[in-house]
Amino acid sequence: MQQVNLGIIGGGTVGGGVFQAIQRNGALISSRLGVRLHVAKMAVRNIHKPRPVKIPAALLTTDWAGVVNDPQVTLIVELIGGTTTARELVLNALKLGKPVVTANKALLSAHGEELFEAAQNSRTNLYYEASVAGGIPIIKVLREGLIGNRITRLYGIVNGTCNYILTRMKAEGADFADVLAQAQRLGYAEAQPSLDIDGHDAAHKIGILASLAHGFWVGPKQIYVEGIRNITRLDVQFAQQLGYTIKLLGIVKKAGPVAGARRKPNGYAPVQVSVYPTLVPNAHVLASVNDVFNAIYVRGDVVGDTLYYGRGAGQDATASAVLSDLADAALDLKCGTKSRIPPFVPHEREGAVLPIDEVVARYYVRLNVIDKPGTLAKIAAIFGRSKIGISSVIQPEGHEGESVPLILMIHDATNAAITRALATIGALSVVKAPPAMIRVENFE
């Protein structure tokens, strides 16, 4: 039986999980592929560090370059994270003509275009299923399963930490800070949680999916990002009262009718690529994705709507995705087709990301206002002058002269228009706190 020699760079949680999974299911994988996966070497930072997964000392080295350059190693697995050393070792491996498997979303987000070009120039391949949504095979879906579709909509719950926090806030009626502290105690959130709760982790992933779906590279600076740290218990409660659940969504979709004026002569519409908290109708399937689970909802012009659900992080889920890539890479090597399906094909050279100011949406707006006659009229007048319609209003009964929340649901408007209107409203003397706004998605 043919053997593929693996050089694994990184022996942490994911690296240990991959090694363990190969030991556990290596015979099964070999029987299905007709190729044996053999871990030849494993580069780590500290050989003597205690590890939850026992790795034979003879496999370990601190010299990642030696692993990459070893002529006996035919397939490199990058599992160290970061964007500096990881970029260097992946480029070195690709230039040697060696295929690379990576789980590094930050690396692909920052340098994906360069890495894919290096793979193409060396006539080899870069596999990255584990970089987005853990055990959900969404990269394979977009690259292969939906290869005959134009993707018109993609919505992703792709950060388990944020989804856990929002789920607990809804279930327990708790404040954001309390649930974040709980998530940190349970290990679902880091001690420094900004990467997750401010939306940057989700943006790395949604940029990769947007690039695959639309055939032009979407860099991190092109993605509009908002996190969840400003979501309050009141917002969760009022959303529920209105029939919605708040989720942090990554959104990739073609521009709507208002923004369609920006269409190019070839008819190609710009694509919205955004990450932000969203009111999701309770009847929609994404509203029921809870705790640390991820889900990606994809609409193709041929297949229609499809949903992919599972664990988005963790040792086993990520290791499963890496094994999928190892199987693909091993088969490609066995058949002598190192680039059977290129990692990324830039087929839409005229593609562009729609600026957030031109994105059209509905909105939930929460104001803290003085409860006195004429307050709502002043606010409605500002929306009216901005040609923005109000679809409904909730004002809990209060005591005249005191501050009370005022909730408004707003009809379709551009982000620029609603932002200007809220800036004017926020300056009114009857408004006692900066307005809060959350976008509403109807999935049409």
Q: Which amino acid is at 176?
A: F
> CA 30, 337, 315: angle at the middle one, nearest 5?
45
Residues 6 or more apart in contact with residue 149 via CB below 8 angstroms = 300, 301, 302, 303
Active site residue 205: yes
Angle between helices 315-335 and 13-33 (to 10 degrees): 40
Classify 6 as helix, strand or coil. strand
Gap between the Cα atoms of 223 and 206, Å rounded = 9
DSSP notation for 150-216: -EEEEEEE--HHHHHHHHHHHHHT--HHHHHHHHHHHTSS-SS-HHHHTSHHHHHHHHHHHHHHHSS
β pairing state of 126-127 and 100-102: parallel
Closest to 158 measured CA to CA, from 127, 128, 119, 201: 201
Separation between Cα atoms, residue 438 and residue 20, nearest integer Å: 43
Please identify which residue in the block is written with the tokens 């409860």: 371
Q: Left if phi > 0, otherwise alpha if psi is -120 to 50, otherwise beta: which for 10?
A: left
CB 243, CB 216: distance < 8 Å? no
Rounded distance, CA 210 to CA 77, Å? 24
Catalytic one of 41, 170, 205, 253: 205
Place of tokens 């994988």: 29
Q: Token digits for 350?
A: 């005229």
Q: What does the block give as tokens for 352?
A: 């562009």
Q: What are phi and psi of 434, to 5 degrees?
A: -60, 135
Active site members? 205
